[in-house]
Amino acid sequence: MGPQGLLFDYGGTLVEEVSVDLRAGNEWLLSRASFRPASVSLEQVLERASRVTTEVAGRRDGVHLEAAWPALTRLIHDFFGIRFDVPMAELEMGFWKASVQARAMPGARQALEQCHRLSLPSAVVSNTSFSEPVIRYELSKHGLADYLAFVVVSADYSVRKPNVLLFETAAARLGIQPGDIWFVGDRLDTDVAGAKAAGMTAVWFNANKLQDPSPDADLTVADWDDFMRHVLEPM
Q: Does residue 209 sit in the same domain as residue 150?
A: yes
Q: Does residue 175 sit in the same domain as residue 80?
A: no
Q: Does residue 13 sit in the same domain as residue 52?
A: no
Find out whether 76 and 45 touch, Cβ atoms under 8 Å.
yes
Q: Does residue 111 sit in the same domain as residue 213?
A: yes
Please state, as a whole number, how many other Cβ atoms lie within 10 Å of the Cβ of residue 130: 23
Q: Does residue 121 sit in the same domain as residue 79?
A: no
| Beta bridge mates, 54 | none
100, 119, 144 — which closes off a domain?
100
Q: Does residue 10 sit in the same domain as residue 106?
A: yes
Q: How many domains does the chain have?
A: 2
Q: Does residue 214 sit in the same domain as residue 119?
A: yes
- Phi, psi (rounded to 5 degrees) for 228: -65, -30
- Phi, psi (rounded to 5 degrees) for 18: -85, -45
- Strands 5-8 and 181-185 come out as parallel
Q: Does residue 113 sit in the same domain as residue 52?
A: no
Q: Does residue 108 sit in the same domain as residue 85?
A: no
Q: Does residue 143 sit in the same domain as residue 190?
A: yes
Q: Does residue 106 sit in the same domain as residue 81?
A: no
Amino acid (one-letter) located at 215: P
- For residue 167, the enclosing domain spans 5-18+102-232
Please state, as a whole number, how many other Cβ atoms lie within 10 Å of the Cβ of residue 87: 10
Q: Does residue 153 sit in the same domain as residue 210?
A: yes
Where does 104-162 have alpha helices with state H?
108-117, 132-141
Q: What is the pLDDT of residue 209?
A: 73
Find out whether 219 and 200 touch, Cβ atoms under 8 Å.
no
Cβ neighbourhood burial of 55 (10 Å; 0-12, 13-18, 19+) = exposed
81, 100, 119 — which closes off a domain?
100
Rg over CA atoms, the chain: 19
100, 120, 146 — which closes off a domain?
100
CATH number of the domain within which 156 lies: 3.40.50.1000
Would you write out the chain's pLDDT as a tens digit for each of its 235 residues? 789 999 999 999 999 999 999 999 999 999 999 999 999 999 999 999 999 999 998 888 889 999 999 999 999 999 999 999 999 999 999 999 999 999 999 999 999 999 999 999 999 999 999 999 999 999 999 999 999 999 999 999 999 999 999 999 999 999 999 999 999 999 999 999 999 999 999 999 998 776 667 789 999 999 999 999 999 986 5
Q: Is 109 helix (H, G, I), strand (E, B) or coil?
A: helix
Whole-structure pTM value: 0.94
